[in-house]
Amino acid sequence: MRMWAWVFPGQGAQKVGMGKAVYDTYEEAKKTFQEADAVLGFSLSDLCFYGPEEKLRQTAYTQPAILTASVAMWRVLEARGVRPDVAAGHSLGEYSALVAAGALDFADAVRVVHRRGQYMQEAVPAGGGTMAAVLQADRETVNQVCAEVSREVGPVELANVNCPGQLVISGRTEAVQEAGKRLLERGAKRVLPLEVSGPFHSSLMKPAAQRLAGDLARVPLRDAICPVVSNVDAKPRRKADEIREALVRQVAGPVLWEDGVRAMIAMGVTQVAEVGPGRVVSGLVRKVDRKVEILAAEDPDSLEALWNRWEAVKES
């Protein structure tokens, strides 16, 4: 039996116009955007479709925008009978995965991630923290350099393990810069500053995690209908209380995406389908294991192609 993993993108996948063609084509998608507008009290759909890009890049708006576009596309597939075998999402995308797995209502999700974005934005003053991608360095070296720089300069930590050869560090701006210099000296091929508004997935986000914990304590969560692989430790979860705890830890903890992909493959996953804007997450999966079939859906044509492939695999 073939096993599907449905994966969802995180922050960075946003682009003006995302979801517009799906909104115009499918009633399920239109209702999803309209529901988000009603929940938030402003036109998120207009922001997604028409921008401005500067506002769409603001974390408090980016997060509900990507979630809404992803869930809109998922609901088109769900209406045709698609059910997940396992789900996962990159950082913010974990909320989309939980909606797909039936653990979290969409209205609650869009409300929570809007606040999550606000809390993350407010945790560190503008310019006080940043992130950088580190290419072709091993995890042990990155952790060692981060520990050294944290003692000598300021906090910097491993924030993302995306795929072999692609790690991300996060922390105080000056500490990230110093860690980048030392990593180049120790063999990293490149260190690329990221255009982000804060040091996400580092201990500097603990104030945001504490604020989010209060919100999540009031959000109804159900046991998931399928395993959802958590970013923070790459473990599959189905129990509501365990999911809630993982979401709180995730804000200030690392995104262990590569580990999560390997965990899904060990569970028997043979197809990975990314649902939502862009194809970044499915591209990372391909770099982890090229034997897995990779599919993606972000517009009507790719949604139809994914649906047809799902039907063909199901019947084979």
CATH of the domain at 16: 3.40.366.10
**Domain boundary residue, one of 196, 223, 254:** 196
Contacts of 302 (CB under 8 A, 6+ apart): 296
Element (DSSP H or E) covering residue 54: helix 53-56
225 vs 197, higher pLDDT = 225
Instruction: Please check whether residues 226 and 256 belong to one and the same domain.
Output: yes
Identify the pLDDT of residue 185: 97
Least confident of 129-133, 195-199, 226-230: 195-199
Q: Per-residue pLDDT for 174 more than 80?
A: yes
Mean pLDDT, residues 4-29: 96
Instruction: Please check whether residues 41 and 158 belong to one and the same domain.
Output: no
Instruction: Please check whether residues 233 and 310 belong to one and the same domain.
Output: yes
Identify the pLDDT of residue 254: 95
**Domain boundary residue, one of 146, 169, 196:** 196
Q: What total of structural domains would you count in the chain?
A: 2
Q: How far apart, in whole angstroms, are the C-alpha atoms of residue 152 and residue 117?
A: 30
Q: Per-residue pLDDT for 1 more than 80?
A: no
The strand pair at 166-172 and 129-135 is best described as: antiparallel
Instruction: Please check whether residues 216 and 276 belong to one and the same domain.
Output: yes
Amino acid occupying residue 152: E
Q: Per-residue pLDDT for 126 more than 90?
A: no
The strand pair at 4-8 and 166-172 is best described as: unpaired
In terms of residue numbers, what domain contains 67?
4-123+204-315
Neighbour-count burial for 250-269, b at 16+ CB within 10 Å, e otherwise: bbbbbbbbbbbbebbbeeeb
Phi, psi of 86 (to 5 degrees): -155, 150
DSSP code of 4?
A: E
Instruction: Please check whether residues 179 and 298 belong to one and the same domain.
Output: no
Active site residues: 91, 201
Identify the pLDDT of residue 42: 97
Share of the chain above pLDDT 70, in %: 100
Q: Is 309 helix (H, G, I), strand (E, B) or coil?
A: helix
Identify the pLDDT of residue 114: 97
Identify the pLDDT of residue 2: 81
Q: How far apart, in whole angstroms, are the C-alpha atoms of residue 243 and residue 81?
A: 25
Instruction: Please check whether residues 41 and 154 belong to one and the same domain.
Output: no
Instruction: Please check whether residues 311 and 243 belong to one and the same domain.
Output: yes
Here the tokens at position 219 are 């959000």
Q: Per-residue pLDDT for 77 more than 70?
A: yes
Banded pLDDT at 49 (limits 50, 70, 90): very high
111 close to 39: Cβ distance less than 8 angstroms: yes
**Domain boundary residue, one of 196, 215, 235:** 196
Share of the chain above pLDDT 90, in %: 95
Identify the pLDDT of residue 196: 86
Identify the pLDDT of residue 162: 97
Instruction: Please check whether residues 25 and 98 belong to one and the same domain.
Output: yes
Instruction: Please check whether residues 93 and 50 belong to one and the same domain.
Output: yes
Identify the pLDDT of residue 197: 83
Identify the pLDDT of residue 127: 86
Instruction: Please check whether residues 28 and 176 belong to one and the same domain.
Output: no
Q: How far apart, in whole angstroms, are the C-alpha atoms of residue 311 and residue 200?
A: 38
Identify the pLDDT of residue 53: 95
